[in-house]
Each structure stands twice: as C-alpha cells, then as structure tokens.
Amino acid sequence: MATKRRKPTKKKAAKKKAKKVAKKAKRAAKKAKKAAKKVKKKPAKKRAAKKKPAKKSTKKPAKKPAKKQAPAKAAGGITTIAGIIRTHAKNLSGKVALVQGDRVQTWHELYQRSSQVAQALKAAGIGIQDRVAFLDKNSIEHFEVFYGCAMLNAVSVDINFRLAPPEVAYIVNDSRAKVFVVGPDFVPVLDAIVDELPHTKKIVVIGGHPKFESYESWVARYSAVDPGVTAKAHDVAFQLYSSGTTGRPKGVMLTNDNFLGILPSARDLWSMNEHAVNLVAMPLFHIGGSGWATAGQYNGCKSIILRETTDIGGMVKMIGQHRITHAFMVPALLAFTLMVPDIDKADFSSLKLIAYGASPISEQVLAQSLKTFKCEFVQVYGLTETTGVVTMLMHEDHDVDGPKKHLLRSCGKPSMGIELKIVNEQGKEVPAGEVGEIIIRSKQVMKGYWNMPEETAKSIRNGWFYTGDAGYKDKEGYVYIHDRVKDMIVSGGENVYPAEVENALMKHPAVQDVAVIGIPDDRWGEVPLAIVVRKAGVEVTEDDIVAFGRTQLAGFKTPKKVAWADALPRNPSGKILKKDLRAPYWQGRTRQVN
C-alpha cells in the first residue's frame, strides 16, 4: 500500500533555510580567506617585479640582436656547404636568397632546385667526391649546381670563362669531370673542344644546344628530393684552378672545413646577416667572387647577382635599386666605377661596407672611393689556396689625410684564426721590417693541389702554406706586400704566371726563346710583356705574337706588348734573370708590385 509524503512543517523549513545560508556564508569566508592570502603575497610579488626590470633589461638586448640579425638562427649548426642550403630552407624558407635581373629565388625554391640538380647529377653517375665542371658567367645556375653537388658530397669545379678553348679542355680533363654544365655564351668553346673530353659522360647547356640537352629540361626531369648524403669536414667541396707556376694550371681543393674557417667571421666583422643585401659582382670562378658570395649566403644574406662587370653604369643603378649593403670589388672595378658619368649623383645611401683586394690600390682611387661611396672600406689580402681572406685593413685604418696614412700601403693585420709569419729562405722568422716570404697556418689552408702531391708538398710544409709573396711586418703587426717570390703577374685582379704564357708563345714557329714579365699599367695595375728572341731568318711582328697569344690564352694572359732581344740574360744554372728584365720598367718605384 502506497504511503503519502508529509508536507514539511514551518519549523523544519526554517531550519533547512538556515543551513543553506550557513553553507553559503562558509563558502564566502573561504573565498575571502584565499583572497586575503593573495593580497598578502602581492607586495612581495611587486617587490620582485621591481627587481625584474633589471633582469629583463639584461636579457632583452641579448635576444633582440639575435632576432634582428638572426645569424644564430640562420647559420647555427652549419658544418658543411650543403648545410647552408638545408638550414636556410628551414629557417629562412620564404626569404629571398638570389636575384638575377627579373629572376628571384627564395631559400626554399633554391633548395628545391638544388635538390633537382642533385638528383639529375646522381642519375648521370655522379657519386661522392666526383667532379662536375661548370663554365658560365655569374648566374643563378652556378648556385644550383654548387649546392646540388654539395648535397651529393660531390665537387663543383668552376672554370674561368675568360680562358681559351685549349685551357678549358685541360681543366675539364684534369679534373676528370663526369658532367659538364655550359653557359649560353660558351657554346663556341664547347663546340671547339667537345671531341677532346674523354672523361665527360654528360654535357648540358644552359639555354639549349642542337646536340646536347638543355639545362632546364634536364633539371625538370627530376624530383625535388634531397638525396640526404652527408659530407665530412675534410671532404672537398669546391675546386678552383689557379695559374700554374710550372705552366700547368693547378686544381686547388677547398674542403668544407676550409670554408667554415672563414664564413662565420663575416657576421661579426662585416655585419653580414639575413637583413643584408650582398652584391655578387666578381666572377664566381675566382675565390674573391665565390668566397664573398658564400660568406653572405652562410649568414643568410640576399644575393644580387651581376652577370658580368662590363655594364658598370648598370651596376651603379643596381646598388640603389636593390638597397645593396655589402660589396666586394677589385681596385680596377672601383676605378672604373668612379668614371661613370654623374657618379656623385648616384644613390649609395644603403651601402654599409665595401671590401676590396686581389691587387694593390692607388691612394687617389681609394681617397675618391671613400668620398663617393661614403661607407666603410676594408682591404683584404688572400689567396685561392687560403680560401680567401687572411689579412684585413679595417676601416678605422683608412686614414687618407691623417697620421695613419702610411697604413694605406699595408694590407692590414692577420684576420681571425690566421697565423702569419715572415720567414727567410731557411724558414726562420725574420724581425719586424725585414722582407721575407709570407707563410700562413690556418684552418682555411687548402687540402692540396688536385693530383699534384709534389706541388702540394712544396707549398705546404709542416702545416704552413708558403704563399710565394714577399713582404714584411711593421712593429705594430701590419703586413706589407713588397714583391712576389714567384714571378706571378697580377693584372686587373687576375693571376698570370709567366711560365704558362711562355709555354704558349714557344709554340709559335718564329719564337726561339721568350720571357714574360709584368710591367706597370695605370688601368690594370700590371700587364704581361713578352720579351722575344726570334729565330734566325724568320720575320715576325708584334701583332703576330699578340694575335697568336690570343688563340692560345685568355685575353688577360695575352701579352699586350712585345719587346725584342738577341738573347735573354741567364744565371749559371740557365734560369732567366727576370729581375734584370723587370728593372728598367720598375725604376723609381718603392714596391715591385703595382
């Protein structure tokens, strides 16, 4: 039987209500207690907060530069050339890496293209430490091949595009390049030597060729997948050819470690970072061009590529148009730039630093350059064999009219990580002010000359690289170039070895004997002069010799003048006395380099 619920009495309802009120009051009391505790803690928090600004102020400045410059993010952890493109593709993906005319590539796009090139090279049989030859003027393709090779731990061999066909053939064959990439301007060179390249299995031509596959279609056939090959510090990454003292060009093997010895310092010394815009104007087959470009890229710079320096007026406009901050130029290029009409009206307001080197600069050109460009100037001295810069004359030492004016004749002090000594013929260090040979010990010193162990052993002794340059140090440690131990001529920033020119000229049927020396030239610093002994009864003119030289040699190596002699002066061992031949042309000069 169901029972009915009784309705609560008024007394019980009142009690129930009172209980509810009590509970609410209890909860409110708890909340109040908690709030009171918080209030008590707040003053301590405030006192701590007063101390914090001091902490924050020390932390923020450290963070802000890293965020602004981003080199730590951009360059951190890079230990190989391939690491540059792999790191920046992640950290700087959408930022612009390369600009050439209307062409623009972001870091991600450059990474994809380089990956395609790597896959194409792999399919062509390129493996670890195999050589890939590249012949073109400055271009985006250079960097695609450079990084594509690095991603396979292969070696990019950039060839001087000013060389004559026989010289190009020699380098392709000497390097045993399996793949040869040729630029559109050099199809005639390729056609002249194509039957003389026994080691080359694949030839591609940028822009196309009736017989060979175009670079674009070749790359497009492969997927943008990083092959993921890792390289070691001592593996060769880049091979450049210097003129040979023996008449044969020498392949300078530069390793990942060589590059990593110099690249990080560009951030601290030259303020290169992801916000910098770097002009790549010097030829990339030259360490002054490729080393400068790679330093900028290691530190995340945007690179503006100038295909060639013939249009100097165009280059001047580019500086303002692209807001270029950094540039490397040889003195001859600086001198030509100053001749551009209305140069004083050009926009150089973005420029922060110009590095210059590869040959001496006149005080007049330097003074005018400082006045015109209104930015920091740094002089650098280095060699292909040292991966570039070994000494620097910093901007504060460019004292054109002041008490430090004498330092302008110097090439500065050794840069970071460089040990430099001046030694006599016995290899002993000489005192300040005494002339001797400049020798270098550094992580930057090349691995050696490709397939030339004897030449390597002559140049690298007990860990020291013997430069062949004669110079001295003053008491403050500044280095001065005095002469060249080797007979090398520097013409417009290019090295010319007389032996190479002499070997070429000796092929002329009218030449009995020949010596080549460098003589002063206002435009190029030095130019080669051939002193020729004619064969008896044979007629030959200066024009004949110069024209023949052009068929055998690059233009900058070809003698500009010819002098005639009945015999060449030689010492008892038969060596030509070059100093005697040079003397009349260098009279009245304090240095034997111009």
Question: DSSP labels for 326-384?
Answer: EEEE-HHHHHHHHTSTTGGGS--TT--EEEEESS---HHHHHHHHHHH-SEEEEEEEEG
The pLDDT of residue 47 is 40
Q: How far apart (Å, rounded) are the C-alpha atoms in residues 583 and 498?
A: 16
Q: 10 Å Cβ neighbour count for 395?
A: 15
- Provide the 3-class DSSP secondary structure of residue 103: strand
Residue 482 near residue 418, CB atoms below 8 Å: no
Exposure b/e, 489-513, CB count within 10 A at least 16 = b: bbbbbbbbbbbbbbbbbeebeebeb
The pLDDT of residue 406 is 84
Rounding to the nearest 10 degrees, give the CA dihedral for residues 455, 460, 462, 465. Answer: 160
Q: How far apart (Å, rounded) are the C-alpha atoms in residues 362 and 522?
A: 9
- Provide the 3-class DSSP secondary structure of residue 32: helix
Q: How far apart (Å, rounded) are the C-alpha atoms in residues 275 and 65?
A: 12
Q: How far apart (Å, rounded) are the C-alpha atoms in residues 240 and 442?
A: 19
The pLDDT of residue 490 is 84
HEC letters along 281-336: CCCCCCHHHHHHHHHHHHCCCEEEECCCCCCHHHHHHHHHHCCCCEEEECHHHHHH
How do the domains of the chain map onto residue ranges?
Answer: 75-479, 489-585
Residue 128 near residue 152, CB atoms below 8 Å: yes
Task: Name beta bridge partners: 469.
Answer: 484
Of 271, 321, 301, 304, give the one whose Cα is nearest residue 95: 301
The pLDDT of residue 492 is 85
Residue type, 239: Q
Q: Supply the Cα-derived Rg of the chain in whole angstroms.
A: 33
Question: CA torsion sign, 482 to 487 to 489 to 494?
Answer: negative
Q: Which fold has domain 75-479?
A: Rossmann fold (3.40.50)
Exposed / middle / buried, residue 213 (Cβ in 10 Å: 0-12, 13-18, 19+): middle
Q: For the chain, give me the number of helices (H) and strands (E)?
A: 18, 27
Of 242, 256, 41, 224, give the one whose Cα is nearest residue 128: 256
Q: What is the CATH number of domain 489-585?
A: 3.30.300.30
Residue 239 near residue 251, CB atoms below 8 Å: yes
The pLDDT of residue 269 is 85
**Using the 8-state DSSP alphabet, how is residue 243 labeled?**
P
Of 173, 225, 260, give the one whose Cα is nearest residue 450: 173
The pLDDT of residue 486 is 66
List average pLDDT for each run of 10 residues in the chain, which is 594 residues long.
44 50 54 46 41 40 35 65 98 97 98 99 98 98 99 98 94 98 98 97 97 98 97 98 76 97 86 95 94 96 94 94 96 89 95 88 84 95 95 92 85 94 93 92 98 96 94 94 74 81 87 89 89 90 94 91 89 70 80 56
